[in-house]
Amino acid sequence: MQWLDGHCDVLSKMWKDPVKHKFYDPQSKLDSSYFNLREATVALQVFAVWVPETVAKAQRLQVALKQIDLFYEEIIQDEQNVILIADRKRLRECSPERIGALLLLEGADALQGELANLRLLWRLGIRQMGLTWNYANEVADGIEEERGGGLTRFGRQVIEEMKRLRMILDVSHLSVKGFWEVIGEEELPILASHSNCRAICPHKRNLEDDQIRALIERDGRIGVTFVPSFVHVSYPDASISHVLKHIDHLCGLGGEDYIFFGSDFDGISYKIKHLESYRYIHYLTEALLKAFPESSVKKWSWENGYRFYEKQLSL
């Protein structure tokens, strides 16, 4: 069974410590190292470019560019093992033997208030963007921002440019008000790359049922994530069985054809037992196959996500 993972934080981890974290090292401590992805038969991995809020505003674009440079120099290299996915044609070439890699900008902080920087990042391979991380920036409020604001004037300009470029919008960290401001933008491809169900685990980062229904209505996707605090209210007790409860709830909302996975590996400090990295993904596979039909599990591990990107990426 092959996998598509809608979110990992390998690049920010490599940027913070490029000596310690090597993608192709057989002994790598990365959750989503090359050898872990190969062992798990991951055929497409979305790599997030994330600039921490502690980085000075004037340096945020530079940090994003450094992570993108690491992506090309340390991961893509000569494309013998991992290939850049920037369009539909390349998407069709990815496989567990030649893993596809798609770039996501997690938070528009790196734009530094300039649409030209959005176009620059597009040309460098960014095909998906979340407007915020957890807090406010020049574009919108994040989900942890207490005032709960929506998009700024510049944020609306960013949305229009994303529509023109056909860049995919990721709403996982966006404020609730911001979510409802963008969900009606029908020309904008949209998904939540790593969010679970608030009805099952009442964390701010999880989605309300009406948000899930709205994403389904838009032919979006919901990336079930392995972050313990998003999985279970008592995060040290989070287990694979709790992950399955989120999937079951999504199915109950009519979401069977809209579920995929967004692990958030390498961005998680505390791990679910038997979901510590992609080396252990077979435990999830076994649990899924016990609880659901194999045809459904194949949709969630690969088909739903692949169908979304095949539709939304340019030719």
Confidence of residue 8 (pLDDT cuts 50, 70, 90): very high
Show the CA angle centred on residue 195, arms to residues 192 and 200, nearest 5°: 135
Residue type, 315: L
How far apart (Å, rounded) are the C-alpha atoms in residues 272 and 39? 19
pTM of the model: 0.98
Question: pLDDT value at position 199?
Answer: 99
pLDDT, tens digit, 9 for 90 and up, residues 78-119: 999 999 999 999 999 999 999 999 999 999 999 999 999 999
Confidence of residue 185 (pLDDT cuts 50, 70, 90): very high
pLDDT at 74 over 90: yes
Other CB atoms within a 10 A radius of the CB of residue 266 amount to: 22
pLDDT at 307 over 90: yes
Task: Identify the burial level of 311 via C-beta atoms within 10 angstroms of its C-beta, where 0-12 means exposed, 13-18 middle and 19 or more buried.
Answer: exposed
Percent of the chain with pLDDT over 70: 100
Check: CB of residue 72 under 8 Å from CB of residue 98. Answer: no
Q: Residue 278's domain is classified under what CATH number?
A: 3.20.20.140
Question: pLDDT value at position 315?
Answer: 79
pLDDT, tens digit, 9 for 90 and up, residues 213-270: 999 999 999 999 999 999 999 999 999 999 999 999 999 999 999 999 999 999 999 9
Our measurement of the distance from residue 139's CA atom to the centroid of its chain's CA atoms, rounded to an integer in Å, reads 19
How far apart (Å, rounded) are the C-alpha atoms in residues 145 and 122? 27
Number of domains in the chain: 1
User: Which structural domain range is residue 171 located in?
Assistant: 3-312
